[in-house]
Amino acid sequence: MKGIHESEQGDLLMKKHIANKAIILAAGIGRRLRPITEHTPKPLVEIKGRKMIETVIGGLIQNGIAEIYVVIGYLKEQFNYLPQKYGTIKLKLIENPYYYTYNNISSLYVAREHLGDCIITDGDLWIHNTDILYPQFDSSGYCSIWVEQTDDEWLQITDEDGYVLACSRTGGKNGWQLFSVSFWSKEDGTKLKEHLEEAFEINRLTDIFWDDLVMFCYKDQYRLKIRKINPCDIAEIDNLQELAVLEPSYQKYLRGE
C-alpha cells in the first residue's frame, strides 16, 4: 500500500481489529477559511472540482466501509444530498445542535452510540492516498507522520514499538504529528463513549477537543499506537494560504478580490 511505510505493509494483514463503520465530523463553522465559508461549509469546499468531504467518503467506501455517520451543524441543509448520492451504502446525517457554542467534543458526543470498531475523521480533509483508510488495525490510535520539528501541531512521543507515551498540543522536536484520522477498537470505543458522557454531561467540558479526552484527560486508560503515514497522503487545510496551494483559483481571496 502506497501510504503505509514498507515496514508495516506485511503486518497489516494480521491486524486484530477491523473498522466496520466511520464517523465524520463536519459540523464546524470554518472561520479561518472566510469569506469562502460564509456560504459554504468547510467540508463542502471544492478542490480540483471535488468537495473535500467526498474524498473522505470515497476513500472509506473504497476500503469497504459501508456504514458512515456524518455529524453536521453549520449550514446543515447543504449536506442533505449525501445520503442520496451514496445510496449504495448506509450514510446517515446526525445533527449537532451545540456546534455554534461548543467545541468539537460536542460532535463526537452526539455520535457516541456508533463508537467502537470504527474510524473517526474530520470532514475537512483532502485524502490523496485512500490506503490510509485501510480498516484493519492492531491498536487504537491516530494516523501520524514523523517530523523533526513543529510549533503548532499536536506532537506525540512514542516508545520503540510506536505506542504513545506523551503528547504536546504545541508541537516540539522529533515526534509524530497527529492527523485527525483515527481508528478505535470496540473496547476503546466503549470507554470513549463513557468518557464523552462524563466530560460533556457531568463535568461540562464543552470547550475542548474530543481528542483531549484520550490524550490528556483520561490518557492512562488508553494504550494508543501511531499509524504511520506519509506527508503526501493527506492534507489538513487550516487556512486560506494552505487551500490556495492545493487549488490556485482561491488565490483571489488572498489578494482581497
Which sequence spans correspond to the domains of the chain?
6-254
* Global pTM value: 0.91
φ, ψ (nearest 5 deg) of residue 75? 50, 45
pLDDT tens for 232-252 read 999 988 889 888 888 888 888
pLDDT tens for 80-124 read 999 999 998 999 999 999 999 999 999 999 999 999 999 999 999
Question: Quick one: fold of 6-254?
Answer: Spore Coat Polysaccharide Biosynthesis Protein SpsA; Chain A (3.90.550)
The string of DSSP codes covering 36-97 is GGGTS-GGG-EETTEEHHHHHHHHHHHTT--EEEEEE-TTGGGGTTHHHHTTTSEEEEEE-T
Could you read off the pLDDT tens digit of each residue along the chain, which spans 257 residues? 444 444 444 454 556 899 999 999 999 998 888 998 899 999 999 999 999 999 999 999 999 999 999 999 999 999 999 999 999 899 999 999 999 999 999 999 999 999 999 999 999 999 999 999 999 999 999 999 999 988 889 999 999 999 999 999 998 999 999 999 999 999 999 999 999 999 999 999 999 999 999 999 999 999 999 999 999 999 988 889 888 888 888 888 887 76
Smallest CA-to-CA distance from 65 within 140, 134, 138 is with 134
Supply the pLDDT for residue 15: 66
φ, ψ (nearest 5 deg) of residue 44? -100, 5
